[in-house]
Amino acid sequence: MTAAPIGKVDVCWAINGTQAHAAFTLMPGVTALIGPSGAGKTTLARILSGLKHSASGMIELHGKTLLQTGVDTPVFEKARNIGLVMQSPALFPTMNVYENIMLGGKTSPNELDTLLEITGTASLLERMPATLSGGEARRVAIVRAMAAKPGLLILDEPMNGLDPKRRREIMALVRSLAHSSGTPVLLITHQLEEMLFAADHALLINGGQIVAAGTVENVLTTPETSSLLGIDDAGSLLTATVSGREDHLLVTSIGGDTLYIADDGEPIGAMLRLRIMARDIALSPLHLDGISVLNQLQGEITAIEHTDRDAVIKLCLVKSGLTLQSRITKKSCTAMKLMAGNTLFCLIKAVAVKELISDPSGGTESSRI
């Protein structure tokens, strides 16, 4: 994504007696702030939203200075216009859903209707918070924050404690809201899955420092991400466009290559984010006919990394220039005499490709998972 940043953050605060310093730019769309527990994610969210005052530095959002130590009086939380949805939905139990939404709401009736429709909360308006399920309460909390028309919406682990199906729903909702309303979202999480399913950009945080930043694809393949989040096989992320259907399979195009994947009903032209695990890619020196593997993409080895047990082969696809990772045993690596510069075929089973995000209109409007 080449969009311009919407904000800049450069703040310091104390974390367990040591000084934490986070500096990054905020991009439009959904940005995941990901890191292990205790990395300073929630503290950073509280600093941004103005709930924690003991931070110094600079925060700029949409051209407005929210904090600048020593120069201006900081803009306190009320004027910051930053929405915050915390781990607990914190719906006010003394009023129904509609009153919760409208207490700080600034939306017009039409905008509210749209918000309620996207989030599927229209039927909940008369209900009291105590009667809502966990998933419903999270959705209402998100609607309440969005109804205040924030310049930035911070979601602090909004999917905690939800079952996988509800998590998927919320992730789809976050993405859909961010793209349909144009409100930038900072999604705080320690789950890789949430970053992959919902975010466009990512900030990896540890010990109060931003250790990696960029697109989700870039942050995923950064070695720090794997070590901090304990990921065994980060795999590769690819953006593909649905170009057709064949024998109950989707034909997608990634650069100049064609990739067959399972058909979940995505429309032609939809943009998909796909993940292929390194262990699901086999390598062959020749194109193989008569085998079940449908996808055989030609690539050139750019690097080989040896671990204790196996070898990770990094390849650049010949037609598209995209990168893939394949994990094979050391024995296979030695037997095939692999080295950088070799050209090979990457064998990928269609059913091994995992679809993370589908943007039906090509990634600019709402999304569906």
Partner 1 sequence: MLTSVEIAALGLSLKVALTATIVALPFAIATAYWLARTEFRGKIFIDTLIHIPLVVPPVVVGYLLLVTLAPTGGLGAWLADMGLSPAFKWQGAALASGLMAFPLMVRSIRQAFEAEPSTYNDVAHTLAIPYWTRFRRISLPLAYSGILSGTVLGFARAIGEFGATITFAANIPGLTQTLPLALYSAAQAPGGEDAAARLALLCLIPALASLFASEWLYRRAKRRLGANA
Binding site for partner 1 (CB under 8 A): 46, 49-51, 77-84, 86, 88, 90, 92-95, 99, 103-104, 128-131, 144-145, 148
Q: Which two tokens stand for residue 52?
A: 């924690």
Three-state secondary-structure class, residue 189: strand
| Nearest-approach distance from CB 118 to partner 1, in angstroms | 20
What distance in Å separates the CA atoms of residue 369 and residue 358, rounded to the nearest whole number?
Answer: 6
Cβ nearer to partner 1, comparing 49 with 252: 49
Cβ nearer to partner 1, comparing 77 with 310: 77
What distance in Å separates the CA atoms of residue 90 and residue 99, rounded to the nearest whole number?
Answer: 14
What distance in Å separates the CA atoms of residue 250 and residue 233, rounded to the nearest whole number?
Answer: 25
Pairing of strands 323-329, 271-276: unpaired
| Nearest-approach distance from CB 149 to partner 1, in angstroms | 11
What distance in Å separates the CA atoms of residue 204 and residue 39, rounded to the nearest whole number?
Answer: 9
Cβ nearer to partner 1, comparing 127 with 368: 127
Cβ nearer to partner 1, comparing 95 with 162: 95
Residue 140 near residue 100, CB atoms below 8 Å = yes
State the CB neighbour count (10 A cutoff) for residue 346: 23
| Nearest-approach distance from CB 95 to partner 1, in angstroms | 7
Cβ nearer to partner 1, comparing 11 with 254: 11
| Nearest-approach distance from CB 99 to partner 1, in angstroms | 8
Cβ nearer to partner 1, comparing 150 with 235: 150
Range 47-53 contact pairs with CB under 8 angstroms and sequence separation of 24 or more: 47/11, 47/13, 48/9, 48/82, 48/152, 48/154, 48/186, 49/77, 49/80, 49/82, 49/84, 49/154, 50/74, 50/75, 50/76, 50/77, 50/78, 50/80, 50/82, 51/77, 51/84, 52/13
Cβ nearer to partner 1, comparing 48 with 333: 48
What distance in Å separates the CA atoms of residue 67 and residue 80, rounded to the nearest whole number?
Answer: 10
| Nearest-approach distance from CB 186 to partner 1, in angstroms | 13
Q: Which residues contact 247 (CB under 8 A, 6 or more apart)?
A: none
What distance in Å separates the CA atoms of residue 366 and residue 205, rounded to the nearest whole number?
Answer: 28
| Nearest-approach distance from CB 305 to partner 1, in angstroms | 44
Cβ nearer to partner 1, comparing 187 with 204: 187
Cβ nearer to partner 1, comparing 50 with 299: 50
What distance in Å separates the CA atoms of residue 171 and residue 169, rounded to the nearest whole number?
Answer: 5
Pairing of strands 354-359, 185-189: unpaired
Q: Which two tokens stand for residue 84?
A: 């915050």
Three-state secondary-structure class, residue 104: coil
| Nearest-approach distance from CB 68 to partner 1, in angstroms | 20
| Nearest-approach distance from CB 94 to partner 1, in angstroms | 4
| Nearest-approach distance from CB 140 to partner 1, in angstroms | 12
| Nearest-approach distance from CB 130 to partner 1, in angstroms | 3
What distance in Å separates the CA atoms of residue 280 and residue 347, rounded to the nearest whole number?
Answer: 8
β-partners of residue 154 are: 84, 186
Cβ nearer to partner 1, comparing 58 with 95: 95
